């Protein structure tokens, strides 16, 4: 069990780097948390107070300011104790109260929940970062301590926390410049998610050390000898890479452990910047450099302030060795990342010329995310920024453009300016014309060719990889299609209103827009109708709820299927959507009633060995209500008036369109998935015949299975 760090011990650790720290305030926070968590215990059995104090001690190791340390001590009080925001604010000030509240809100975010909720919460996470980055620092060290002590949690909770850490917190730590924390978080998560894989790596390491001896020590001595020969004063540190890092390399390169050579890493920490380049020269003269593995992050630092020279050489026995070369100041930023901004030494805020300003860092990270109101787009863009390595390309004038690995000239164009990206008609890489889907490499010079009248194309979404480019392309495509959506939406509204003997007047549509939360924006309502975000039936039912069932004539839909037990509920399978007139069979689904499937539904094959769950069913004879939804897959010419005519043809057959989804758009055709409410198979046949006879219908089929998400109208 972990021992509780005494308040005086904690204060002494902080005063060792910041003698001017407010010992009384830190002690008061300690006493407040101790009293608040009295009687609370962690799953390991130790007093709960051990955890927040341990987190504050980890932050003290980074030499952080008093406000961050106190926030760490109090970070669980608002959520888990009776201490209020007002009490913290009154005793410790608004700054600390706001930070504690920020950490509490982050703790309550379920970052690995459903995709939509995850995207929404990811935006909240980054908004918290933009307000005060120290909130994220406390949360990261909170997660680090929790991962170090995760063994006491139930296995399923361990797995959830480890996956969240691997997917969210580890990449975030790396993006903030704390690579050591990323490595440790990934390895701790790896130990939970794939213990056998980690054990395998560790066993091979032990065997390797037994066969080869102290390889790290010998290579370290070799490097020190070369530095001494050049008269370079430095510190050389070597280590074997962490198990997860090795596992990832094995997966990426599809190699066995025995074939991996770059499993050792070394750092050379010099006194000055010129010594870094002298050390690099000495290493390259002594050992053969590995082509393409050299990176100069001193002349081209990362956004989080990271500076270092990276190279790889073939060392003893042909072993590939990775070497990082940096000054002591660069090393401090490399260890602390963005947190170096708050670091103290001898009671003064550290004046490290390489420490990045947190405000400018977060602004640079999120500047092009703010243009998107869509959480999913924001999520996509942030994940690309966090997870991707960088490539550095040059404009014809020699300016550097940083892009994620795998970026294309199209991404380069949008990185320069949205206007240039939108007008992009071609590109030259190192003076040679290349396709827009070309993957850019480090160091190439890119020239963007523009054309007047050029606009973003739908096919560009398959080419662009950066969040900024994809968001700009989406916005342009939406603007281009908006007028078409509005026109289609008006036609859908007309047909739906006529179905209940009403007219889609501007007044009626304005009222519907207001009822649906769109204020009085009729154009927005029509655009969403045309894009399939809102169904025409929803609009009609909003205005005329008393007429919602007017179209239901004939057999009661609840009694449409015969062969069920009294009181047995049923629903049609979404995989096949059978309609009256088609042969059907039922499947009993525990706790869900009976699923009705067409006799030729492929899903039935999954239950061939469970015939006791099959029920012989048939449709009630007689006229059925037009409430059976069928999805029609139709490809039509992209010409004026065609969309409206298709809607009219369906309406003329007394069928209601309940949804329209654009599954594909090309300059010469549209592919649509149209949900139509029908009475029976004969009704479906008449609708299909009417559509097939139209000269602008290129292809027509009944769609079964999963329906893709609609493309938003704005």
CA–CA separation, 365 and 569 (whole Å) = 52
The partner residues of 326 in beta bridges, in order of sequence, read 269
Closest listed residue to residue 581, CA positions, set 677, 689, 680, 655: 680
Closest listed residue to residue 696, CA positions, set 619, 624, 623, 644: 644
CA–CA separation, 342 and 355 (whole Å) = 9
CA–CA separation, 47 and 124 (whole Å) = 31
For the stretch 500-504, contacts whose Cβ atoms lie closer than 8 Å and that sit 24 or more positions apart, written own/partner, are 500/540, 500/544, 500/547, 500/550, 500/551, 502/540, 502/543, 502/544, 502/547
Instruction: Give the angle 321-322-326 at the CA atoms, nearest 5°.
Output: 135
Listing DSSP states for 196-220 in one string gives HHHHHHHHHHHHHHHHH--HHHHHH
Q: Is 480 a catalytic residue?
A: no
CA–CA separation, 525 and 209 (whole Å) = 69
Q: Which residue of the set 22, 46, 79, 296 is catalytic?
A: 79
Cβ(41)–Cβ(86) below 8 Å: no
Query: What are the C-alpha distances in Å from 301 to residues 97, 98, 330, 355, 553?
Result: 35, 33, 10, 11, 71
CA–CA separation, 684 and 637 (whole Å) = 22
Cβ(63)–Cβ(350) below 8 Å: yes
Q: Which two tokens stand for residue 655?
A: 């069928």
Q: Which residue of the set 2, 80, 95, 521 is catalytic?
A: 80
The partner residues of 191 in beta bridges, in order of sequence, read none
List of residues 6+ apart from 125 with CB closer than 8 A: 106, 109, 111, 136, 168
Instruction: Give the angle 157-163-166 at the CA atoms, nearest 5°.
Output: 140
Give the SS3 label for residue 4. coil
298 φ, ψ (degrees, to nearest 5):
-85, -50
Q: Which two tokens stand for residue 698?
A: 């290129």
CA–CA separation, 208 and 306 (whole Å) = 33
Burial class (CB in 10 A: 0-12, 13-18, 19+), 151: exposed
Q: Which helix (H) or strand (E) holds 288?
A: strand 288-289
Helices (H), 337-442: 358-366, 375-387, 409-416, 418-422
Cβ(622)–Cβ(592) below 8 Å: no
Helices (H), 269-338: 273-286, 328-336
Closest listed residue to residue 390, CA positions, set 303, 470, 469, 291: 303
CA–CA separation, 73 and 64 (whole Å) = 13
Q: Is 80 a catalytic residue?
A: yes
Cβ(77)–Cβ(85) below 8 Å: no
- CA 522 and chain centroid, separation: 33
Residues annotated as catalytic (active site), given as ranges: 79-80
């Amino acid at each position: 069990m972990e021992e509780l760090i005494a308040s005086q011990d904690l204060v002494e650790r902080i005063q060792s780097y910041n003698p001017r720290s407010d010992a009384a305030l830190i002690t008061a926070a300690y006493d407040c948390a101790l009293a608040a968590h009295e009687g609370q215990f962690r799953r390991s059995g130790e007093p709960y107070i051990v955890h927040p104090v341990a987190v504050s001690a980890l932050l003290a190791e980074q030499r952080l300011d008093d406000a961050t340390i106190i926030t760490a001590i109090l970070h669980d009080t608002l959520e888990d104790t009776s201490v209020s925001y007002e009490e913290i604010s009154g005793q410790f000030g608004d700054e600390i109260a706001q930070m504690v509240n920020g950490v509490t809100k982050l703790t309550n975010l379920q970052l690995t929940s459903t995709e939509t909720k995850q995207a929404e919460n990811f935006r909240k996470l980054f908004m918290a970062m933009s307000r005060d980055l120290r909130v994220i620092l406390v949360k990261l060290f909170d997660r680090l301590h929790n991962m170090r002590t995760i063994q006491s949690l139930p296995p399923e909770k361990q797995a959830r926390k480890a996956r969240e850490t691997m997917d969210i917190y580890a990449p975030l730590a790396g993006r903030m410049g704390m690579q050591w924390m990323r490595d440790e978080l990934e390895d701790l998560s790896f130990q939970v998610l794939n213990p056998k894989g980690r054990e395998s790596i560790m066993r091979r390491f032990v065997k390797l050390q037994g066969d080869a001896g102290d390889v790290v020590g010998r290579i370290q001595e070799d490097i020190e000898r070369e530095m001494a020969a050049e008269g370079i004063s430095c510190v050389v540190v070597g280590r074997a890479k962490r198990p997860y890092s090795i596992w990832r390399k094995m997966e990426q390169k599809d190699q066995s452990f025995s074939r991996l050579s770059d499993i050792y890493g070394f750092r050379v920490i010099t006194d000055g910047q010129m010594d870094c380049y002298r050390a690099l020269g000495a290493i390259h003269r002594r050992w053969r450099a590995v082509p393409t593995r050299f990176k100069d992050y001193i002349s081209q630092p990362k956004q989080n302030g990271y500076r270092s020279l990276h190279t790889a050489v073939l060392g003893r026995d042909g072993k590939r060795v990775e070497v990082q070369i940096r000054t002591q100041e660069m090393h401090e930023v490399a260890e602390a990342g963005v947190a170096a901004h708050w670091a103290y030494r001898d009671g003064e805020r550290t004046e490290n010329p390489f420490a990045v300003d947190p405000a400018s860092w977060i602004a640079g990270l999120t500047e092009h995310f703010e243009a998107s109101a869509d959480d999913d787009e924001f999520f996509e863009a942030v994940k690309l920024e966090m997870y991707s390595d960088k490539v550095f390309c040059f404009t014809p004038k020699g300016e550097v453009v940083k892009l994620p690995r795998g970026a294309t000239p199209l991404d380069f164009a949008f990185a320069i300016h949205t206007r240039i990206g939108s007008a992009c008609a071609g590109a030259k890489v190192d003076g040679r014309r290349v396709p827009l889907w070309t993957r850019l490499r480090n160091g190439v010079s890119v020239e963007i060719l523009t054309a007047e009248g050029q606009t973003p194309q739908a096919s560009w979404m398959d080419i662009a990889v950066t969040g900024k480019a994809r968001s700009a392309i989406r916005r342009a495509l939406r603007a281009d299609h908006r007028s078409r959506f509005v026109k289609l939406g008006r036609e859908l509204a007309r047909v739906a209103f006529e179905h209940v003997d009403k007219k889609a007047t501007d007044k009626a549509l304005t009222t519907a827009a207001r009822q649906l939360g769109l204020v009085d924006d009729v154009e927005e309502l029509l655009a969403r109708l045309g894009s399939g975000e809102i169904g025409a039936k929803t609009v009609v039912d909003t205005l005329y709820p008393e007429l919602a069932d007017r179209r239901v004539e004939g057999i009661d839909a609840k009694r449409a299927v015969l062969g069920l037990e009294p009181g047995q509920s049923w629903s049609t399978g979404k995989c096949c959507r059978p309609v009256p007139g088609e042969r059907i069979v039922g499947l009993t689904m525990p706790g869900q009633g009976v699923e009705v499937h067409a006799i030729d539904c492929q899903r039935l094959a999954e239950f061939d060995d469970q015939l006791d769950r099959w029920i012989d069913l048939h449709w009630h004879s007689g006229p059925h209500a037009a409430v059976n939804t069928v999805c029609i897959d139709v490809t039509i010419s992209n010409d004026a008036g065609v969309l409206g005519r298709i809607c009219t043809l369906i309406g003329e057959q007394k069928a209601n369109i309940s949804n329209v989804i654009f599954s594909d758009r090309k300059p010469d055709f549209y592919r649509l998935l149209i949900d139509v409410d029908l009475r029976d198979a004969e009704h479906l046949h008449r609708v299909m015949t009417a559509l097939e006879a139209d000269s602008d219908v290129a292809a027509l089929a009944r769609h079964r299975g999963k329906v893709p998400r609609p493309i938003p109208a704005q």
